[in-house]
Structure 1
């Protein structure tokens, strides 16, 4: 007779294609993993893996079993969590896929309140590409995703979480740092460090400039980097100037760079939460979503206060809180 533990072992082996890696993931011994797989193969009367030296691959039977096993394991976990919730004990594992840099700095504040209230929940925040986060959500691997881009999907419910300022940062010794504000056309003279064109930050800057009749292609780009932290450090090293999340600027390089306003240009990046509309929600997922979307949540108020754009225009803008 099948049991959910055997199927969990199969999933770990199928996802890693390595029995030793699966054993480490499950905190088991490698021989125990091998035995569980053997028992499943005997049960189904079909080999599930092709073993070629140290390499593993799924057989046709293994490929067929994979989505079925995933559904059964998820159903088993959901049953445990729902029945536990009947005893007013929300527990289980909450997995959040985060595809936006600001989300990495916002989520811990929210998670602190959540885990303090629900002490029997274990949480994982995985930072990945937007497409991967969406795939995980659709497959039921992750229960919630955080993204800076609203990507319509019929099966996913999106909720606007917060709006965060995107600011222009310059080295502390840059002439703009003393002035605190520049004209829009002055951007043409700067060495720009920018995000890749598929990023949410790039889209915010591109659209904000376009509203002012400014083509982002007119900027003198000297360097393209894949995340806001890298831009912050590149600005700190004097390579150029760049637009990044204000939260990243404050958390990472607040003492080494200055934020400068661009006249007429106010940039904000919306951060969204997403969850699947049709897959069953776990009690931990429901509880987290409730805290995250509650306008009276203490954690949300702290986040919103921290993300309020300062009114003082000078080189200390980043250090204000």
Structure 2
């Protein structure tokens, strides 16, 4: 059976008049009759009772009609979805991003794009850094905003901005009055850190190891706001991102010191899978971010 046969059957089931239905469908009456006959042969039952020129939907036809209508609805919905995807002004973009970027970078990119393209829809998903790029493997993500650049995979990458990573200390900490610090100076302090696997945690561990010590972890969390709150309460010190400090309008007096150790920063960018063809709407947004993303990101800097 094919789509036309299902549509013609549904139309004939509603009208039960071969001539008028053939006229409405702009086909010949013999063509309609042959199509219904082919459908009945494939199903193995008659769908109509025929008495001369009169057609009546029989009990087989009444039982089959809801399924035919449902199949047609699904086919039409699928065609509409594909047409929607192909429309650069009204399609959907599945954008994934790491936790620390949801309060400033992602809103800046999405907001600016929607001002110019209000019909585009975004399906946003926020995740920890661990396994974030796995969203490409199962086709769940079109684009990802994260940092640093994923290693070990041939993924597309466009650098947006590099944000400094600062050392947050309690207000009464011995280094609180300083503007900058070397990490070896806090080697004996308890650390408030992100959970293992997070990109910022990996950076913190690497920086501490390069400075010659193993950080003594007092708490592991999922949100930088939580880390900074515990640091302000005097539970330890920790590395946080400067952009996040600006975005969250910190009300505590927690000092944030510049770290003079090399590499105490985090590059952020847009990631995509070059092996998966981009739909027009995804390609258009990616091009927008490549052209304007650095400016939009820099405007969020403190």
| TM, length-normalised to structure 1 | 0.63
Cα deviations by residue, 1:69-106 (Å, 9 ceiling, x for unpaired)? 9xx95x86344332x44xxxx11111101134135521
Q: Secondary structure at the match of 1:163?
A: strand
Q: Could you tell me which of 281, 287, 294 is aligned with 1:300? A: 294
Offset at 1:236?
Answer: 2.3
* Cα 1:127/1:2, change in 2 over 3 Å: farther
Determine if contact 2:166/2:241 at 8 Å carries over to the other structure.
yes
2:234 corresponding residue in structure 1: 238
Q: Output the CA distance in 2 between the equivalents of 1:78 and 1:244.
A: 42
* Cα 1:167/1:131, change in 2 over 3 Å: closer
My pick for the range that moved more, 145-154 or 189-198, is 145-154
Q: Output the CA distance in 2 between the equivalents of 1:39 and 1:126.
A: 35
Offset at 1:165?
Answer: 1.2
Structure-to-structure mapping, 1:239-278, within 5 angstroms: 239-252=235-248, 254-256=250-252, 257-265=254-262, 267-278=264-275
Q: Secondary structure at the match of 1:281?
A: coil
Cα deviations by residue, 1:114-170 (Å, 9 ceiling, x for unpaired)? 00010111112210244654333233332111222414334x323333211111112
Stretches (4+) displaced over 6 A: none
1:281 corresponding residue in structure 2: 278
Offset at 1:198?
Answer: 1.0
**Structure of higher CA gyration radius:** 2
Determine if contact 1:98/1:104 at 8 Å carries over to the other structure.
no
Q: Output the CA distance in 2 between the equivalents of 1:185 and 1:239.
A: 19
Q: Output the CA distance in 2 between the equivalents of 1:264 and 1:144.
A: 32
1:152 corresponding residue in structure 2: 152
Determine if contact 2:101/2:146 at 8 Å carries over to the other structure.
no
Determine if contact 2:160/2:297 at 8 Å carries over to the other structure.
no
2:179 corresponding residue in structure 1: 180
Q: Output the CA distance in 2 between the equivalents of 1:103 and 1:2.
A: 47
1:26 corresponding residue in structure 2: none
- Uncovered stretches (5+) of structure 1, i.e. residues with no partner: 4-37, 44-68, 308-320
* Cα 1:103/1:163, change in 2 over 3 Å: farther
Offset at 1:183?
Answer: 4.2
- Uncovered stretches (5+) of structure 2, i.e. residues with no partner: 4-65
Offset at 1:111?
Answer: 1.1
Q: Output the CA distance in 1 between the equivalents of 2:161 and 2:207.
A: 18
Q: Output the CA distance in 2 between the equivalents of 1:261 and 1:203.
A: 19
Determine if contact 2:91/2:121 at 8 Å carries over to the other structure.
yes
RMSD: 3.0
* Cα 1:39/1:108, change in 2 over 3 Å: same
Determine if contact 1:232/1:253 at 8 Å carries over to the other structure.
no
Cα deviations by residue, 1:27-47 (Å, 9 ceiling, x for unpaired)? xxxxxxxxxxx949x97xxxx
1:165 corresponding residue in structure 2: 164
* Cα 1:175/1:132, change in 2 over 3 Å: closer
Q: Secondary structure at the match of 2:167?
A: strand
User: How many residue pairs align between the two structures?
Assistant: 233
